Amino acid sequence: MSGKRWAGRRRISSPLPSPLSPMFIELTDQLRCPAEHAESFLVLIPDVMEGRQVLRGTLGCPVCHAEYRIDDGVADFGGTAPPGRRAGGSASRPDAGGLLAFLALQGPGGVVGLVGEAARHVGGLAELLPGVHFALVNPPDATVAAAASSVLRAARVPFKARSLRGVVLGQPESGEAHWQADAVRAVLPGLRAVGRGPVPVLEGFELLGAADGWWVGRLA
Ligand SMILES: [Zn+2]
């Protein structure tokens, strides 16, 4: 995988473990508490900001009172990502242009979620979709991100229902039914979820197409 270097990376006081940008404060609106209760928003208490990015802070749930830390710009929702991440390999097809065609998006605004291996495509997608923010969930260590991205670590989809302009579900999360279901539900009505591997079995799911081991669909 040859990721594109993001030439415009700003210096930050607390370095991220890899060249990724700190969490965008407005992404808070798309986040939910991942605990097993009815969907709830989260309240952000920032400790250290840089512009509109949060280097350190806490996301608190008003329902279960869980607190999730943001450290080094990365929001950590606890738990562990599913095992079985594949080292390198076959994430090159489709490329960012192919994923954009699957998502069928154009124009600025909103948030697109990239989960697991799919986060590798953030650089290419950010070039093709300026003005869109990318939320990277469990990105591979070698991911090189665009400015317009935030990094989240989570054991389940941390987005509210109907909050994203699109989502791309990569391995290994794409193989798990709860990731599929929550990712499909996180997309705004009429917009698309894209995933690698098995097609979701989910009430109301409309499969729009499948090719090369990927599926494209939405809630009907
Ligand atoms: Zn909660």
Above 60 in pLDDT, residue 142?
yes
Q: What pLDDT is recorded for position 17? A: 46
Looking at the chain, the whole-number percentage of residues with pLDDT higher than 90 is: 78
Q: Please give the distance, rounded to the nearest whole angstrom, from the Cα atom of residue 40 to the centre of ligand 1.
A: 7
Q: What pLDDT is recorded for position 20? A: 74
Nearest alpha carbon to residue 142 among 85, 182, 67: 85
Taking only the tens place, the pLDDT of each residue in 23-41 is 999 999 999 999 999 999 9
Q: Please give the distance, rounded to the nearest whole angstrom, from the Cα atom of residue 111 to the centre of ligand 1.
A: 22
Q: What pLDDT is recorded for position 176? A: 95
Q: Rounded to whole angstroms, how far apart are CA atoms 143 and 166?
A: 20
Cβ(110)–Cβ(133) under 8 Å?
yes
Q: Please give the distance, rounded to the nearest whole angstrom, from the Cα atom of residue 197 to the centre of ligand 1.
A: 30
Q: What pLDDT is recorded for position 220? A: 86
Could you state, in order of their start, the residue ranges of all structural domains in the chain? Answer: 23-76, 96-211
CATH architecture, domain defined by 96-211 = 3-Layer(aba) Sandwich (3.40)
Q: Please give the distance, rounded to the nearest whole angstrom, from the Cα atom of residue 155 to the centre of ligand 1.
A: 14
DSSP letter string, 134-172:
EEEES--TT----SSEEEEE-SS--B-TT-EEEEEE-TT
CB neighbour list of residue 36: distance below 8 Å, 6 or more residues apart: none
pLDDT confidence band for 3 (50 / 70 / 90):
very low
pLDDT confidence band for 82 (50 / 70 / 90):
low
Q: Please give the distance, rounded to the nearest whole angstrom, from the Cα atom of residue 39 to the centre of ligand 1.
A: 8
Residues with CB under 5 A from ligand 1 (ion): 33, 35, 61, 63-64, 66
Q: What angle do CA 93, 217, 110 make, to 5 degrees?
A: 85
Nearest alpha carbon to residue 117 among 99, 95, 140, 97: 140
Residue type, 5: R
pLDDT confidence band for 141 (50 / 70 / 90):
confident
Taking only the tens place, the pLDDT of each residue in 96-140 is 999 999 999 999 999 999 999 999 999 999 999 999 999 999 999
Above 70 in pLDDT, residue 8?
no
Q: Please give the distance, rounded to the nearest whole angstrom, from the Cα atom of residue 69 to the centre of ligand 1.
A: 14
Q: What pLDDT is recorded for position 147? A: 76
